[in-house]
Every structure is written in structure tokens, then in C-alpha cells.
Structure 1
Amino acid sequence: MDEVCTGGRGRAIPPRVMEMKTPGRRRPLAPRIALGVLVALAALGAGHALLWRAMAAEIEQGFATWVQVRRAQGWRVDHAAPVRAGYPLSAALILPNLRIEGGEATLPGGFVLQAERAVLRVALPRLDRLRVEMPGAQRLRIGDDEYRFAADTLVALVPLEGGTPPRGGEVLAERLRLSTPAGPMAVGSARATLDTSSTATEGEAALEVTATAEEIDLPAAPGGRAAAFGRRIAAFGAEMALSGPVPPGRFPVVRAESWRDAGGTLEVKSLSLRWGPVGATAAATLALDEGLQPMGAGSIRLTGAAEALDALAEAGLVGRRAAATARAILPLMSRPNPAGQPEVEVPLTIEDRTLAVARIPVLRFTPLAWPAPDRER
């Protein structure tokens, strides 16, 4: 039989009632766990909201500082009221109707950039990198030339370093469409990286640039001929380094003269091109001559050299007699490359604003115009 306890008045108390009244009985764990989870989620959400606000405020303050510096340099920066966005996965600042105007000290006539909107974004987990996105239609005027452009993706990635201005960055573009003074053109994909060093000494790189592009459709030329080798460039690549130090100063022409006199050079480490029947890789070292015009020497390796000569002669860029002479000696200079194609390696020079390949002039450049100091004042 179950034992029976009696109450104060002698009445029997069933065992189950005794168990319910036993002191120290713990409550079920499930409600306590659920409450703890809710509190933790609320604290996490509040902390994330505070972090997002801090990130958005830092982006806004950083942009305001950049604008102040540029305006102090004589630039004009205008935009509509900025809007914070991106919560919860990123902190973003949207700048509608952005207009940046300046650069008269560097470019004749300066430049004007107009964007439907620009988006400055920092996204988790890359809090050390700023994304500058430019969706929609944009317009760029350089001097008297105007370029309208839009892309499926147009993004600049800028590393953020505490207390110091960015030393470089990267630009990515996908399906870029441009309207140029020569006509419409398009680029399937492009990528460019830039790295600078303000402490570069003589012989060290003060500026390094790497660029690649694919599926470049050139503007159509008069008469339906876009270029000597066809309208589409299949691929282009370049890797260059500008030796330092770059002299300080306000006037570009004075800085260029000082850089030239100090033995400054632009090293084209590699230049590659696949255009119609032609494949080319080149390397060269360039400098400035007495007239502050580019000069230099290097070498180029060509596949499809015979087709290139025919196209240049057809376009009128090379005289037919010079093309015939070069075509006659090509077999003597050709060697098979790893793919078994005939390849020619020839010297190239740039002198007196003329590019010559194997001493054959193929292109004459327009003079490089430097803004005069009296105009910049």
C-alpha cells in the first residue's frame, strides 16, 4: 500500500499532491531556453543595427571629407540628397545625380563626370573594402570630347586603410557600352588594377597598372571598314610601371620636365593583342624627348604578320611598296611558335611621334599637349 501522510488536522494527503508541493521543484527547461534565445537574438539584432549605423555614418563622413578636399583643389562636386541603404547585409550611401567637375590643371579643358547615381558600399564580411557602384547611364566629358556609357556591372573596389588615403584600387566592367565621338563601341569585359607608392625612390615603381579587356567592338569607320584588322579585338592586355619618384608640383608640364631630367621611364612589361588574324606580344621602355613627346624602343612578336601587312596596305597605313618588301623578307625572319604558327620577332621604335615596326612606319601620333602654366593660373 502507498504510504499516507496526514495534514495538520489529521486528514490523509495523497502522494501525488505531496509531490506537487515538494519545495525546490525545477520548472521545465524549454521555456527558459526559448526566452534565452529570444534575448540573445534581440541583443544580436541591436548590435548589428548599431554596427550598420556606424558603418553608414563612416561612409558618409568619409565621402564628405573627400568632397571638401576636392573642392579645396578647385573641383566642383554636386549631388542630390544622399540616401542610406543596404541594411542588413551591407551599409551603402546612394548619391543621386552625381556631378564631378575639375582637372583643369592636368587636362586641357578639364573633365566632367555625370552619373545617374553612384553607390558607396561596404559589405560583410569585407569591411576593409569600399565598393563604388555606378548603375544606370553615365556621361564623361574630357576636354571637347564627350563619352556616354552604361554597363551591366561597373564597380570600383578601393581598399580602406585607417588614417591613410587609398594607394590603389581595381575597376571591373561587364558588357560596357560607350557612345564616343567616333561612334558606338562595346566591351564584353574589362578589368584594371592600379597601385601607387608615394615613397618610391629612383628606379622603383611609383605607379603600376594592369589592364585586360575582351570582346572589344570598335566604332564603325567611314565606308563600313572599322579598322585595318576588323571591328572586333578579341583580347587586350597590358602591364606597365612608371618609375619614381614623381616630382611634386602643381603644373604637369613642369613635373614632366623634372621627371624626364631625372631619368624617369615608363616600362611596358607586357602588351598583348589578339585582333583579327594578328596575335602580338610586346615589351618596351618609354621616356619623354626634348619636346616632352613619347619616345622609346622595344620588341614585338607577331603571328599573322603577312595578313597584317595586307590589311595595313589596304587601309593605306603602309605604302604598297614597303609592304611588298616586308612581305618578301618575312619568311627569312619567321620561326614556328609552340603552337606551330609562323612567328616573327622584330624591333619597334617610337621617335618623332611615329611608331615603326622593323623600321616600317605604321602609325603617327598626334602631339601630346601639355597645359601651359600660365593657362593653369
Structure 2
Amino acid sequence: MRYLVLTGLILGGLLGYYVLWSHLADQVAAQADAWIEGQRRQGREVSYESRRLWGFPYRLSLTLTKAKWDDPRQPLAPRLEAEEITAHLQLWQREHVIFDLPGRQTAIWGSADGAERRVSLNAERFRASLVIDGAGNWLRVAADLTKPRLQGPGDGVVRGEWTAGKLLLHARRAENVPPSLDLAMQAEQVMMPEQAEKPFGRAVQSLRLTGNLRGGFYGNTTDDLLASWRDGGGVIDFSTMALTWGNLRLAGTGSLALDRDFRPLGAMSGKMSGAIKVIELLEANGLTTPQQASAAKTSLLTTDEQPDNNGLLIRHIALTAQDGRLSLGDDPLLSLPSVLPGR
């Protein structure tokens, strides 16, 4: 009799747990439907080919295939497409969502000349996470990509194929007034397209950035978004800037903003290895004049090379971006164009 009672309690507990899981799964489905309906009321379009709820008994998982989102109201009519999206939630921690995004992810938008721009992304593994508060506001978002492959549009700065061994992205809401975000990015073994061959080669061994972005972005076009951020005192303060790209090895701290012509405006101080060779490459590729290169090298030679913790010989340097020029100390090195195409 005791075994029968124990068996009955176990079966009753399992049945109760399944009923609870089913109830929570229905809530997740209802929340997804409510979000889609909310998007549609705002003039956006959301669709998918199929939907599946699964994950029993450990988690709640929702998979959408051939998912699409677009906003035809916007001037650029942005559109997002995904071959498959799966959202995972723990029953006891539903404010933390884990996403798996296998297959191709595509972003499509228009342009002023009427042409369509398209960027597609594939990765061996693409996992992202989102943490929200009780009101549905996002607090943290992160992405972890293994062997991503980005195919840029036919023209523009990011045209061609970009690949990497590893890409990590992280953003955390810091303040609401004024808007402030803590950001971090790490990329390893990046291979850029052919147009990036000069001056240091297509292969970037590593790039690591951490900092805080202050200021909000408002408007419908890229110009409006950047202008609102710039005019509102927008700035990125970098606590870490580390780059290994061919002969260039650079590490330091700095800040970055935009001037009235949307050109980079900021300063950096830190250490550089192979600085003389870098300047020679800039001169050889016509990015700086012989006079500018000579002045910069003369200035560098007045400072001593010192070994860092790894025994690498480095020089302490100061870089400034102002009035459309990048300068090493007081010596102009090269011109800086607008970050907006066509300007």
C-alpha cells in the first residue's frame, strides 16, 4: 500500500508539473501573439511560416521558421528575415531569454537612390541573450557568434564578405536620463574583403573595445539618427581599445564623437608597437604625404621604445581626430572622411 501511495504521489506530481508547464507554455504563446499584434497596430508587419512550442520538462522553447519583420512606414523600409529563431526560457527565470539563430539572417533596407541594400549573416553558432525587467524594458543584451560570415551590400563601406573566428557583443543599459549604454565588443581572426587590403592587409588578428555610449538616437534616417546623437552631446568613452592588425599593435583609452560634417572627432592615448613601420605603410599607400610621414617619424624617434609585460617594444603615443585629420601628437597623418557615404 505504501508503494502504491508513493507511486500515486509521484504520478500526481508529474501530472501537476506537466499541467503547470502547459499553462506557462500557453502564456508564452499568448505573449508572442500579443507582441505580434502590437507590432501590427503600429503599422509594422510580422509573419512566420510555422511555430512550435517545446522544451518539456526543463524549459519553455518557442521556434519560428521563416520569420519576417518589416516597417514600411519608415523612409528606408527596413526588413529583417530569419530562416529560424528559437527562444528558450527557464520556468523559474522567465525574464532571461536565450536565442538560437541557425541559418541565414538578413537585413534589407532601401536607399535614397531607390536601390535595395541587403546584408546577410551566417554563423556556425549564433546564440544571443536578452534580460528584461518586469515592465518589459530590456536591461542587457549579448551575442556570441562562432565563425560568422557577413555578406555586405554591393557597394558602400561594408561591401563584400567579412568573416571572423569569434565575435562577442554585449550591451547593458546604464542610465535612462540621459541615455547611456555600457558596450563591449571582441573579434578574433577577422578577414576583411579585398578593398581593405591596404594599408595593413585584410587580416585583423584581434580587436577589443569596451566603453560607455552616452546620448540618444532619434529620427528615421541614418543622417537624422547620427545628427540627433551628435547635437545632443553624444560621445563614446572607451576604457579599452586594443587592436592587432598586421604590423599595427595598439592599446589605450580614448573618446569618440562626430563633428558638424559627420567626421570622427576624438582623442586616444596609449601605446603602439611598430609605429615607424605603420607610418611607412601609410606613406607607401598614399594615405599620408612624405612630408607628414617624415615629421611624424622624427617626432616618434624622440621617444624611447620600452618593453611591455610581454617583452614587446612599444612607444607611448597620443592620437587626435579633429577637423577631418588624424594627428600623431602635433603632426597630421591623414585625412578622415565622413562616416556617412557620399559626404
* TM-score range for the pair, normalised by the shorter chain length: 0.7 to 0.9
Change (3 A) 1:294 1:312: closer
CA distance in 2: counterparts of 1:283 and 1:193, whole angstroms: 19
How far does the alpha carbon of each residue in 1:299-355 deviate from its partner, in whole angstroms, 9 at most, with x for none?
A: 242112122223323333223443344334433224313333332222222234443
Separation (CA, whole Å) in 2 of partners of 1:346 and 1:229: 19
SS in structure 2 opposite 1:167? strand
Counterpart of 1:311? 281
Match of 1:226 in 2: 197
Identify the residue that residue 15 of structure 1 maps to in structure 2.
Answer: none
Say whether the 8 Å CA contact 1:121–1:132 is kept in structure 2.
yes
TM-score after normalising by structure 1: 0.76
Select the residue among 236, 239, 261 that pairs with 1:266: 236
Q: Specify whether residues 53 and 69 from structure 1 end up closer, same or farther in structure 2 by C-alpha distance, changes over 3 A only.
A: same
> Among residues 297, 318, 321, which one is paired with 1:347 in the alignment?
318
**Contact kept in structure 2, 1:353 and 1:367, CA below 8 Å:** no
Pair 229,248 (structure 1): closer, same or farther in 2 beyond 3 Å? closer
Q: SS in structure 2 opposite 1:350?
A: strand
Structure 1 residue 70 corresponds to structure 2 residue 32: no
In structure 2, the residue matched to 1:200 is: 177
Over the aligned positions, Cα root-mean-square deviation in angstroms equals 3.1
Structure 1 residues 188-231: Cα deviation after superposition (integer angstroms, max 9, x where no partner): 11111112256334xxx62221111111111233xxx7342222
Q: Structure 1: which 5+ residue stretches go unaligned?
A: 1-31, 370-377
Question: 1:79 is aligned with what amino acid?
Answer: Y
> Match for residue 134 of structure 1?
101
The answer to whether structure 1 residue 187 and structure 2 residue 164 are counterparts is yes
Q: Shift of residue 119 of structure 1?
A: 0.9
Deviation at 1:89, TM superposition (A): 2.5
**CA deviation map 1:128-155 (0-9, x unaligned):** 4111211112222244432222112112
Q: 1:178 to 1:251 in 2, by over 3 A?
A: closer
Partner of 1:163: 135
TM-score if structure 2 supplies the norm length? 0.83
- SS for the counterpart of 1:131 is strand
Pairing 1:93–2:65 present: no
Contact kept in structure 2, 1:104 and 1:111, CA below 8 Å = no
Give 3-state SS (helix, strand or coil) of 2:181's partner. strand
Aligned pair partner of 2:121 in 149, 152, 171: 149
**1:338 and 2:296 equivalent?**
no
Q: Please give the residue correspondences for 1:355-366 in structure 2 after superposition, counting only pairs within 5 Å.
A: 355-358=326-329, 359-362=331-334, 364-366=336-338
Q: CA deviation at 1:115?
A: 0.8
2:113 match: none
Q: Is the 8 A contact 2:207 2:242 kept in 1?
A: yes
Aligned to 1:298: 268
Matched residue SS, 2:134 = coil
**Which of 231, 237, 259 is 1:289 aligned to?**
259
Matched position secondary structure for 2:338:
coil
Q: Is 2:244 aligned against 1:280?
A: no
Decide whether the 8 Å contact of 1:114 with 1:139 is kept in 2. yes
Residues 264, 339 of structure 2: 8 Å contact kept:
no
Q: Which amino acid aligns with 2:80?
A: L
- The 1:74/1:252 distance shift into structure 2, 3 A limit, reads farther
Partner of 1:211: 185
Is this contact kept in 2: 1:220–1:226, CA < 8 A?
A: yes
Cα gap change, 1:160/1:264 in structure 2, threshold over 3 Å: closer, same or farther? closer
Residue deviations 1:258-283, cap 9 Å, x none? 66555443222221111122211232
CA contact (8 A) 1:99 1:114 kept: yes
1:14 matched to which residue of 2?
A: none
